[in-house]
Structure 1
Amino acid sequence: MTREGLDHRLAAERPLWFDVDGETLLGILHPACADARVGVVVVVGGPQYRVGSHRQFVLLARDVAAAGYPVLRFDYRGMGDSSGAARDFEAIEPDVDAAIAVLKAETGVERVVLWGLCDAASAALIHARRSTPADALILLNPWVHTEQGEARVRLKTYYLRRLLSRDLWHKIVRLEFDVSGSLRSLLGYVRQIRGRGAGDDGPAHYVDRMLDGLRGFNGPLYVILSGDDLTASEFRELIAGSRAWREAWQACCR
C-alpha cells in the first residue's frame, strides 16, 4: 500500500458510540471496501482497553481492514472510555451483541467474526451460546484457568523438566537442594488436583459455559495456541483430560 493509500485509510478510521443497558460504549471503526460482506469484532480481554498491549489491537485492526474486512474494536462497559461499573469477561455478552449489531449497521456486512485473546477468547466462546451468535470465532490462548488445571500443567511441565535437569542433581549431590520446600510445593499441587473444580455443585463455572458455547456453535472455529505458555498449556490439558471437552472439540472440528 502506498503512503497516500495508508493515510487515506487511517483518516477513514472513526469513533462510534453505542448504548448497552443505559451505558455508553466507545468503539473505533476501521472501514474496508464498500462491498465487504464479512467484518470482524475484536473483543478485548481485561484489564485492558481497545488499543491492546503494545497497540496490538490497533495494528491488527488496520491489517485486517487493509485486507478488505472492516473491523470494530471497542471498550465494554466499565473499561477504557466506556461508562458503567467495572465487570469481567463473564458479563459482557450484551456488549458483544451490541458491537456486532453496530458493525453490521455501519458497514452493511452480513457475517461477523469474533476475535479474542485470553479471557476475551473465553468471552467469545461463552457468547456462542446466544440465540444470535457470531458467524465465526478466532480464539487465541483461551483462558480456562482453574487451580486444578494449573496444578496439572505445572506437574507435567515444570517438575518433569526439573527431574531431568543436570543442575538439579548437582544441587542434590552438593546438598544444596531444598528438599522439604520442594516437597511442600509438590504436595500443594497434588492437593489442588484433588480439589473441587469446574462442574461441581454451585453456579455454572465459566469453563462450563464455554463448553456449552462450543457444543452449540455451528460456524467455523479457529484456535491459535502459543508454544511455551501456561494459558495455552492449560487449554491443551483441558482438552486432553476432559471427555466432555474432547467430544465437543472433535465434533466442532469435523
Structure 2
Amino acid sequence: MKESVLRLACEGTPLVGILAEPSDGAAAEVGLLIIVGGPQYRAGSHRQFTLLARHLAANGFAALRFDYRGMGDSPGEARDFLGVEADIAAAISALLAARPTLKRVALWGLCDAASAALLYLESTRDDRVAGVALLNPWVRSAATLAQTHVKHYYWRRLRERGFWLKLLKGGVGGAALRGLASNLRLARGAGHKTDSRSFQDRMAAGLRGFGGPTLLVLSGDDYTASEFASCAAASPAWAGLLKRPALDLHEIPTADHTFSALPDHDAQCRICLDWLRTRCLAKYT
C-alpha cells in the first residue's frame, strides 16, 4: 500500500487528509471515508484509524482519514459531531475527485463519528454514499446513561455480598442506593422524548432513509455500546431498524470502546473488509 497527503477545502478552510491506497493504484470501485470521533485527529486512539486505513489499502480499498476544521492539522473553529456535515461532504468530494475510478464512498465512524455519519445522511441524502459502518454509536443523554448504569452496574452490585456488608456497616452502600434511586428516576424518562428533532431521532431517521448496506459493530465491554442498544430497543424512532436485511450486526464480546486489544482491533478490521467486499461492492461486480 502507499499513502499520500490529500488537501481539501471546506467552505474556504483547507483541510488535511491522508489517503491510503493499493500501491499498484488498482483500488476497488468503492472507497472508504473514515470519519473521526472527537475530539481526536486523523490517527485515532492507539493509531486505530491509521491501522484500519492501511489494512484496507493493502487489501484493495482506498481509504481516506482527515482532520475536521479546528482539529489536528486543519485550521478553523473547532466543532463537535453536530456540526461536521460540511466537512464530511468536502471529504467525499475530494476523495472522488482524487481517484476518478471510484464510483461511490462508504462512511465509517466510531462513537460520535458514527452519529455524525447518520446525521449527515439524514440531512443530505447523499447518493454518493454506498454504505455506512457504525461502531459503538453515541446516543448519550442523562436518561440513557442512567438506564445503562441501572442495567449494567447497579443490578450487578446488588447481587454482590460485599455491597450488603458495606451497607450493614454504614459504608458506601448507602450512597450507592441513593445513586440507584437517582438513576432510576432519570431512566424512566428514556425512550419517552417527544422531540422528533433530537439528535438521536435524527440519527434514526438518517438510517431509516438510507437504502444501502449498513454495518453495526458493538463492543461487549463498553457503556456507549450498551446505551445505544438500550436506546434502539426502547425508542419508537429506532423500531425495526436493527433488523433490516441491509444491516449486518456484529458483536465483539471482549472489545472495549476503541477496540484497543489487538485481537479485537484485528477482528473489527476483518469485519469491515468483508463487509466492503460482500455488501458495498455487490452493485459493481
| TM-score (structure 1 length as normaliser) | 0.88
- For residue 154 of structure 1, what is the amino acid of its counterpart? H
Which structure 1 segments of 5+ residues have no match?
Answer: 1-8
Which of 43, 59, 65 aligns to 2:57? It is 65
Which of 38, 43, 51 aligns to 2:35? It is 43
How far did 1:250 drift? 3.0
How far did 1:147 drift? 0.7
- For residue 142 of structure 1, what is the amino acid of its counterpart? P
User: Does the CA contact (< 8 Å) of 1:37 and 1:110 recur in 2?
Assistant: yes
Q: Residues 22 and 197 from structure 1, CA distance in 2 versus in 1: closer, same or farther, beyond 3 angstroms?
A: farther
Q: How does 1:27-176 map to 2 (within 5 A)?
A: 27-32=17-22, 33-107=25-99, 108-129=101-122, 130-133=124-127, 134-173=129-168, 175-176=169-170
The answer as to 2:233 corresponding to 1:240 is yes
CA distance in 2, matches of 1:77, 1:20: 8
Which residue pairs with 1:16 in the alignment?
A: 6
Q: Deviations over 1:77-135 (max 9, x none)?
A: 11111121110011111111111111111122112111110000101111112131511
Q: Residues 253 and 199 from structure 1, CA distance in 2 versus in 1: closer, same or farther, beyond 3 angstroms?
A: farther
- For residue 192 of structure 1, what is the amino acid of its counterpart? L
User: Does the CA contact (< 8 Å) of 2:21 and 2:27 recur in 1?
Assistant: no
User: Does the CA contact (< 8 Å) of 2:27 and 2:62 recur in 1?
Assistant: no
How far did 1:187 drift? 2.0
| Count of residues paired in the alignment | 242
CA distance in 2, matches of 1:198, 1:132: 30
Q: Residues 196 and 24 from structure 1, CA distance in 2 versus in 1: closer, same or farther, beyond 3 angstroms?
A: same
Q: Residues 35 and 227 from structure 1, CA distance in 2 versus in 1: closer, same or farther, beyond 3 angstroms?
A: closer
Q: Secondary structure of the equivalent of 2:79? A: coil
CA distance in 1, matches of 2:236, 2:191: 15
How far did 1:181 drift? 1.7
- When the two chains are superposed, the root-mean-square deviation of aligned CA atoms in Å is 2.0
CA distance in 1, matches of 2:191, 2:76: 31
How far did 1:193 drift? 2.3
Find the structure with the greater CA-based Rg.
1
CA distance in 2, matches of 1:35, 1:247: 35
Q: Secondary structure of the equivalent of 1:109? A: coil
CA distance in 2, matches of 1:196, 1:158: 17
CA distance in 1, matches of 2:178, 2:27: 62
Which residue pairs with 2:175 in the alignment?
A: 181
CA distance in 1, matches of 2:157, 2:132: 37
Q: Secondary structure of the equivalent of 2:65? A: strand
Q: Deviations over 1:166-225 (max 9, x none)?
A: 22233345x243354223212221232245878445x92211210110110100000000
CA distance in 2, matches of 1:148, 1:252: 30
User: Does the CA contact (< 8 Å) of 2:191 and 2:234 recur in 1?
Assistant: no
CA distance in 1, matches of 2:137, 2:198: 15
CA distance in 2, matches of 1:170, 1:148: 30
How far did 1:56 drift? 1.0
User: Does the CA contact (< 8 Å) of 1:218 and 1:252 recur in 2?
Assistant: no
Q: Secondary structure of the equivalent of 1:81? A: coil
Larger CA deviation: 13-22 vs 240-249: 240-249
User: Does the CA contact (< 8 Å) of 1:29 and 1:71 recur in 2?
Assistant: yes
| TM-score (structure 2 length as normaliser) | 0.79
Which structure 2 segments of 5+ residues have no match?
Answer: 248-285
- For residue 111 of structure 1, what is the amino acid of its counterpart? R
Deviating above 6 A after TM superposition, structure 1's stretches of 4 or more consecutive aligned residues are none
Which residue pairs with 2:199 in the alignment?
A: 206
